[in-house]
Amino acid sequence: MTNTSTSSTTRSTASRTGRTASGTGAGKGRGRRQLSAAQREAADSARAARIAALHERISERVEQLTADPQWRAMLDAAAKFHTYSLNNQLLIALQAARLGISPTRVAGFGTWKALGRSVVKGSTGLAVLAPCTYTPKDSRPDTGTGQDTRQATPAAAATAGSGAAGEPAGGHADQPARGRVLRGFRVAHVFDISQTQGDPLPDIIPELLTGNAPAALWGALAVQVARHGYTLTREACGQANGLTDPAARTVRVRPDVADAQAVKTLAHDLLTAPSRVGERARPVRAQRTRRRGFGCDHPGWLAAALSPPMWGGAAVARAGECDPSRDVTGLTVAAVGGIRVSDELPGVAVLDAAGVPVPAIADYLCSLLASGAATGSVRSYALALLRWWRFLAAVELGWQRASRVEARDFVLWMRLAATTAGGATRAGRVGERVGYAPATINHNLAVLRGFYADRMAAGDGPVVNPVPEAVGRGGQRVGAHANPMAPPERHRRAPLRQKTPARLPRSLPDHLFDTLFAAMRSDRDRALLALYVSTGARASELLGVSVDRVDVGAQRIGVHRKGSGRLQWLPGSADAFVWLRLYQQRQDRPAGQQALWLTRRAPHRPLTYSAMRRVLQRANEELGTGWTLHDLRHTAAFRMAEDPRLTLTDVQWVLGHAQLATTQIYLRPREDAVVARVLEHHRARGDRPARQPAAPPSGGYRPDSLRELLGQARDAR
């Protein structure tokens, strides 16, 4: 029934190799002893008898589990051998009890050898059931390509591959090999670590924290425990560091650990305790998404208790408490801090109220830059984070202590914000037409969520992200595991996100563009406007053109696309290149300067986006309009979309859109064109001549006479 290693190690190894080869049936007979039919029948009968005996032992062991001490012993054995099936766990526990050993780590002969340990001579192995598998052969004929077309059958979707002799790979004695079919079971032998000798195995011993905890942190966590009706004590907890008893509503922490470890244990119990005692159990999926520990009233309470203040000198609210009475309508956000452009990475630094760069923001912006974000995007993210930092300074709270309440108040303030004299921002009254645009608010929330997610992944920041995530109707993330063949599902907006109105892109009618073009003061500005409305390039793309990216003969200009950075040659109008040549002839260009667009005043430097925007602002002040550089791109798109000789894909290529749906927005008619056509319709109806009333019949003839006369005329015809 058992295997006793009384012979030499070589003989034991050879015996194992023979059992493995005869059990798997995967080889071609290489190195196998040829048996007669009678010998094979006898070996099969003996194997079947051993397996039947093992099953009888399992049945007897199950019957003995009715007694409480034996049941507890089986549970302890199951906890130690969780990689084995219940049958093998029972076999190991039964045989180990007979041998007088307490098994802790069990593995096969080959596994112990790979770990640098050898089985002690004379040790008795523990018999377990191991699967017998084989590789089925495909009966399809050869295709004539010289390749083997034999494959495993679909039923061979089993688990891991074969391992050392006498056990499956990885020490799992119950898993067949991957790509193989289970044929039956055989008897294999494993050994406990107490039956081996050699190198000690590496072990992971948890280390308890030492030292003192942050000031008042234990008290803040104790308040949370008492608030939910639990009693906190420092008592012995057996082998655990802490113990929570939902039935008795008590929380215990070991008294013989340092203050730092005690705070860590208490925080862990607060997060992992059942949310509501006595509540009916929810499905596993719901428990994973809604479990918050003690059913806390606010998900950011622990973040507020664990996080230190980070804004210089700002007062910190009490841990775990949020001010529900904060009046954002009377809140004034001072224009403290700022943005500083530097040559060091990430190129943009956000300064706090003391004028010191914020390290957390610098790390996040470096991550964005390393992920391929453009410098303009990094600056946009920096401005959004600066706005959030100023708000936190106004409410006197550190960024690590921010919770969902602060995110909510931040959105309310942005909806009601109005700039006052001196650059400060105050919140207006409810109903005033002030505040940031909905798209700006959503952009800020997206930046904040990405910032806190990055910091939390780095081990810094609050426990819960202050900006909530959008959740689909099934409780999953919006767009997760979406079927591309199914119609898109409509989901609700994420919490705090604003509803953005669907507006048509603003463009310039021809007569207004001519007026704006006439307001330009130089050939450079006229060339830029003409190229904007003929190429459809973005403002930054056209300003980044170099002198070697201009092909006057082909009427093309090369721009580097936003995002991808790829070079694309865009066609332009003939008038635009005429103005470009006039500008190049009159512009003084320093030696070695490759930028196409330069400033008019010395020293001549490359023209920036801010400088070109100021050129357009001066024209708007003169004309009383409010056009932007991006409106010129919309104008070019509408002009091309209205041309029947250009397809929509042509317009998509010129504009550089990744999706055709983005270009389809320009198929909708412009407001000025619709208004002009409707007014023309009304004028046409008003200019039509009035309809003359029909002349009455001539007098003197009776109607019946006329009918008779006309009827006789028809009959004659």
For residue 657, indicate whether it is catalytic: yes
Burial level of 41, CB count in 10 A (0-12/13-18/19+)?
exposed
- Contact in structure between 93 and 77 (CB atoms under 8 Å): yes
Going by their DSSP bridges, the two strands 332-333 and 242-245 should be labelled as unpaired
End-to-end CA distance of the chain: 124
For residue 134, indicate whether it is catalytic: no
205, 322, 476, 489, 535 from 574: Cα distances, Å? 77, 64, 54, 47, 11
For residue 633, indicate whether it is catalytic: yes
Angle at 438 between CA 424 and CA 652, to 5 degrees: 125
- Contact in structure between 306 and 275 (CB atoms under 8 Å): no
Query: What is the spatial distance between Cα 356 and Cα 340, in angstroms, rounded to a whole number?
Result: 10
Closest CA to 654 of 581, 528, 556: 556
145, 411, 458 from 142: Cα distances, Å? 8, 69, 56
Closest CA to 395 of 449, 336, 314: 314
* 159 CB-near residues (< 8 Å, 6+ apart): 172, 175, 176, 177, 178
DSSP code string of 98-148: HHT---S-EE-HHHHHHTTEEEPTTPBPEEEEEEEEE-PPP-PPP-SSSS-
From 61, 549, 562, 600, active-site residue: 562
335, 341, 361, 403, 405 from 383: Cα distances, Å? 12, 12, 11, 21, 22
Query: What is the spatial distance between Cα 423 and Cα 634, in angstroms, rounded to a whole number?
Result: 32
Closest CA to 516 of 616, 639, 664: 616
Closest CA to 409 of 393, 395, 396, 423: 395
From 19, 408, 538, 639, active-site residue: 538
206, 215, 261, 266, 671 from 258: Cα distances, Å? 15, 14, 5, 12, 72
* 590 CB-near residues (< 8 Å, 6+ apart): 603, 604
For residue 630, indicate whether it is catalytic: yes
Question: Other CB atoms closer than 10 Å to residue 381's CB: what's the count?
Answer: 25
Strand runs labelled E in 444-566: 550-551, 556-560
* 212 CB-near residues (< 8 Å, 6+ apart): 258, 259, 260
* 615 CB-near residues (< 8 Å, 6+ apart): 520, 525
For residue 681, indicate whether it is catalytic: no
Question: Other CB atoms closer than 10 Å to residue 503's CB: what's the count?
Answer: 7
Burial level of 99, CB count in 10 A (0-12/13-18/19+)?
middle
Burial level of 575, CB count in 10 A (0-12/13-18/19+)?
middle
Question: Other CB atoms closer than 10 Å to residue 602's CB: what's the count?
Answer: 9
From 285, 318, 618, 630, active-site residue: 630
For residue 268, indicate whether it is catalytic: no
From 117, 404, 455, 633, active-site residue: 633
* Cis preceding linkage at 438, omega within 30: no
Query: What is the spatial distance between Cα 250 and Cα 240, in angstroms, rounded to a whole number?
Result: 15
| Residue for token pair 């679909």 | 154
- Contact in structure between 561 and 528 (CB atoms under 8 Å): no
Residue positions annotated with a catalytic role: 538, 562, 630, 633, 657, 666
